[in-house]
Amino acid sequence: MQHQPIHDIETGKGLIACPRCDALHVEEDLKGGETASCVRCGSVLAKPRGGAFTQLIALSFTSVVLLMGAVFFPFLEISRLSFGNQTSLFGVALAFAEGMLLPLVVAVLLVIVGLPVLRAFLLVYTLVPLVKGRPPHRHAPAAFRWYEILGPWSMAEIFLIGTSVALVKIVGMVTVHLGPAFWAFGALILVNLASRSFMCHTTIWDAMEDAGLPTDTHRMIGAPEA
Amino acid sequence: MSEHSHGGPVLTAHRAGLMGCRRCGRVWPKGQRQCARCGSRLVQPDRSGLQAVWAWWLAGLIAYIPANLMPMMRTQAFGGLKGSSESTIVGGVLELIHYGSYDIAAVVFFASVVVPVAKFISIAWLAIVAGRPATVEQAHTRLKIYEVVEFIGRWSMIDVFVVAILSALVQLGFVVSIHPGPAAAAFAISVAFTMLSAQSFDPRLIWRGLPLRSRTED
């Protein structure tokens, strides 16, 4: 609004295409709290929040701490008459450790613990240089790309809902005690929600580019030499 | 909701002879293969990308068959003296109805049967009508359906987690024990494949058949 940014219809510089409908938009610097939506399909193109990078780093570390707690503390305990049983998060994954279900052990551990931890580190790796005002790490674009690709596969919140459904099924038959790991998972969901409200991937890509990522003017990755 | 469907002229990156990156939105000249900002592969919004959608869709559908025919859980009561029962997804719902818990039965039926089937139908329909001429309203409806499918896909994993938690927890030796069945793996695979199918779908195709301005209906 305030100024006319430089854009080029030949090279695509300074333009944004909506990932949902391909409509072209001229890139503008938004202030924190502003939202840019696609004129054609209404998808949110950018929604920066002031101080979001620092918050995201803090929330990433929080989620790693909570996940460590969730892994090493008891998760659930049941008792009926004189019989009782308790399980940890590993116990839940190891429930599939028989016969042909074995690969599911790895898959379950990955989607509820492995990927959330990995994504937290990928995000910290991407954002720390940007917060310090330094050029991004060499593999930052790949790191943030994988952070986004792995998003749908990190299923901590789905696991918590699954736990609730399982508890509803057995709560009439046995006495259930919720362990610290259960509450750690509950807190993790809140941390993820907060993280999502601060996350604006357009802003992060722009920040990486502005902070000195090699793009069109310097080096073309995989571009034909023409 | 409808204020953003403005009737003014819209220029797409494709029409301008450019290519938009589906991951980060950066625009590049046509012919470039990879986005130099985020490293994603650049693809044209055309129907050739639908092959991947159909391949994952079919794989997901094939895995969905054993997921329904094989048992999801095996419950053993009193060391097998009171019999052990194996339940499939639909069998579990019928059991819940039998015991009178209609509300839980409805929830499980919706989450484990209605949602997966609706997902298969929606993706197939989106892929079939992709790139066909449509009005702006139809395109908005399709995009909404795509977003629902994309959002809801991962939530089907709930079933797999429920089986894992029950099997890990309900191990009361002689009294009662629950073991996972092979359908859990088939179901997990089916959910993963349908997620990949939905991710392969390029929502830009929904808008390809639309006139760019309202007056170019020649």
% of chain A surpassing 70 pLDDT: 92
User: Which two three-digit tokens encode residue B78?
Assistant: 């009193």
Residue B27 parent element (H or E): strand B27-29
Query: Is residue A187 within 8 angstroms of chain B, CB to CB?
Result: no
Strand partners, B1: none
The predicted-structure confidence for A59-115, as pLDDT tens digits, reads as follows 999 999 999 988 888 888 888 777 778 888 888 888 888 777 888 888 888 999 999
Distance CA B85, CA B108 (A): 19
pLDDT at residue number B212: 54
Nearest CA in chain B to A106: B185
The whole-number pLDDT of residue A217 equals: 42
CB contact under 8 A, B12 and A23: yes
Which helix (DSSP H) or strand (DSSP E) does residue B141 occupy?
Answer: helix B136-152
Three state DSSP letters for B60-115: HHHHHHHHHHCCCEEEEEHHHCCCEEEECHHHHHHHHHHCCCHHHHHHHHHHHHHH
Residues of A in Cβ contact (< 8 Å) with B107? 165
Asked whether the CA dihedral B166, B172, B177, B179 is positive or negative, the reply is positive
SS3 B59: helix
State the ipTM, two decimals: 0.82
Domain boundaries, chain A: 1-48, 51-210
Ranges under pLDDT 50 in chain B: 1-6, 214-218
| Sheet of A76-80, strands arranged across | A83-87, A76-80, A175-178
Nearest to A148 among B23, B33, B168 (CB): B23
All domains of chain B in start order, with CATH: 12-44 (no CATH), 45-208 (1.20.140)
CB contact B66 to A (< 8 Å): no
How close is the nearest chain A Cα to the Cα of B35, in Å? Answer: 8
Report the distance separating Cα A137 and Cα A184, nearest Å: 32
Using an 8 Å Cβ cutoff, are A45 and A36 in contact?
yes
Q: What is the DSSP letter of A177?
A: E
Does residue B203 sit at the A interface (CB-CB below 8 Å)?
yes
Q: State the DSSP code for B34.
A: B
In the predicted model, what is the mean pLDDT of residues A42-58?
Answer: 85
CB A87 within 8 A of CB A71: no
Query: CB–CB of A42 and B4 under 8 A?
Result: yes
Nearest CA in chain B to A10: B29
Cβ distance B195 to A12 less than 8 Å, yes or no, reads: no
Collapsing DSSP states into helix, strand and coil, what is residue A31?
Answer: coil
Is a pLDDT exceeding 70 seen at residue A161?
yes
List for chain B the helix, strand, coil content (%; round to 5).
55, 10, 30
Strands B176-180 and B84-87: unpaired
* Range scoring the smallest mean pLDDT among A121-130, A215-224, B142-151: A215-224
Average pLDDT over residues A13-20: 83
Return the pLDDT at B158: 86
Q: Which residue in chain B is spatially nearest to A209 when comparing CA positions?
A: B37
The pLDDT value recorded for residue A150 is 92
Kindly indicate the confidence band of residue A218, based on its pLDDT and cuts at 50, 70 and 90.
very low
Mean pLDDT of A150-166: 88
Ranges of H-type helices in A44-179: 52-72, 89-94, 102-109, 115-131, 140-149, 156-170
pLDDT given for residue A63 in this prediction: 93
- pLDDT tens for B98-145 read 877 788 788 778 878 888 999 999 999 988 888 777 777 888 888 899
The pLDDT assigned to A226 comes to 36
pLDDT at B3: 41
Of residues B80 and A127, more confidently modeled: A127
Q: Which of B20, B36, B184 sits opposite A220 (nearest CB)?
A: B36
Give yes or no for residue A117 having a pLDDT over 90. Answer: yes
Beta bridge partners of B179: B74
The pLDDT score that the predictor gives to residue B107 is: 79
Considering only residues 56 to 115 of chain A, which have any Cβ-Cβ distance to chain B shorter than 8 Å?
A: 76, 78, 80-81, 83-85, 87, 91-96, 98, 100-101, 103-104, 107-108, 111-112
Cβ contacts of A96 on chain B, cutoff 8 Å: 164, 167, 180, 184-185
Residue A3: band (very low, low, confident or very high) from pLDDT cuts 50, 70, 90 = very low
| pLDDT reported for residue A60 | 93
More confident residue, A36 or A171: A36
The helix/strand/coil state of B29 is strand
Q: For residues B147 and A212, which has the higher predicted lDDT (pLDDT)?
A: B147
On chain B, the residues whose CB falls within 8 A of the CB of A78 are: 169-170, 172
Contacts (Cβ under 8 Å, ≥6 apart) of A190: none
Q: Which residue reads 């301008």 in tokens?
A: B16
